[in-house]
Amino acid sequence: MKHTHNVLFRIALSLWAAVLLFASPAEASVQSDGVHIQILHTNDLHARVEPGAEDGKGIGMPELAGAFWAARDADEDTLVLDAGDALHGTPLIEATRGDAMVGLMNLAGYDAMAPGDDDYAYGLERLTELSKRANFAVLSANTVYKKSGKLVFRAYKIFDCSGVKVGVFGLTTPQTEDLAARENVMDVAFFGPVTCAKAMTALLRDDGCAVVIGLMHMGTDEAAVTSNEIAEQVPGLDVIIDGHGAPLPDGLAAGDSLICRADGDGQSIGAIELVVQDGKLVKKTARLIDCAAAKVLVPKPDEGVEQALKDIKKAEKKK
């Protein structure tokens, strides 16, 4: 009986947190205590696009998209970010070498993504092709071509949220050189994440950003460089949205940062609330919205993404 009570209590807490996520428009954005900005994020999706994957815990891309658009309807100052390892991992998506996943992410309204090690599974050339097909920014400030030293992807993007500048820069783990197939990364190098994070944070602050977010595929356990180390060594970095590790239900405070990470394989949505008052970040909180809570709040999946997923399946069956 005690176990049942604990389970019900956790479900209730999850639902309450999700209710806070989808506030009414009157309660969103510009309020008496400042500008409210919400960040929704995913990581390590591994191309798990179908609802009910992972023993029923997977939210599914149509439901994820439904949640993203519902949140945007409630608060226009909503950003949707992904921390990598999204483009590879299931036969359905691998059959198109990641193209179908990019299409679904476009329809879902993602704003930016940082490539993870698994996103190199189709090779560097294919990953750069996919980045050009994306309607969202693919960011990595520490990934360069070995021969020219030029960035492979865009380093950062600045978003305007009711007059508040939010700077987002990307980072990819140097472990990619060990985790990806050698031929897929032989033409690129991954510079030190701490050095790049310091440079990006300073640059974005100089550009007037009240909020600086590091969108990275780094991890906190057994990584060459962890997101914890970056947080502790980079002053002024407000939020780290990370992948490549275990979920952090309430975020993890380290240095000046709040490190946030959702469950992998699409089992939860990360939700961050930021409040900026008079140009200063005065509040930052994190929570996770699991599959059950997402279904209660957004019982109807996004029709466009749902149809696109059906079309992808149909095309695959014809092969």
* DSSP E strands, 139-247: 143-145, 156-161, 164-172, 188-190, 211-217, 239-242
Residue 16, pLDDT above cutoff 70? no
Residue 186, pLDDT above cutoff 70? yes
Residue with tokens 């990598």: 84
How far apart CA 270 and CA 264 sit, in angstroms, is: 11
Nearest to 81 by CA among 167, 10, 208: 167
8, 34, 247, 272, 300 from 287: Cα distances, Å: 18, 20, 10, 7, 22
Nearest to 168 by CA among 195, 201, 133: 201
**Which residues is 285 bridged to in the sheet?**
273
Residue 184, pLDDT above cutoff 80? yes
27, 81, 98, 135, 214 from 112: Cα distances, Å: 26, 5, 16, 9, 11
Residue 9, pLDDT above cutoff 80? no
Going by pLDDT thresholds of 50, 70 and 90, the confidence category of residue 32 is confident
Which structural domains are found in the chain, ordered by start?
Answer: 2-318 (3.60.21.10)
Predicted confidence at residue 319, as pLDDT, reads 72
Mean pLDDT of the residues in the chain: 90
pTM > 0.75: yes
Digit-coded pLDDT (tens) for 107-144? 999 999 999 999 999 999 999 999 999 999 999 999 99
- What percent of the chain is predicted at pLDDT more than 70? 91
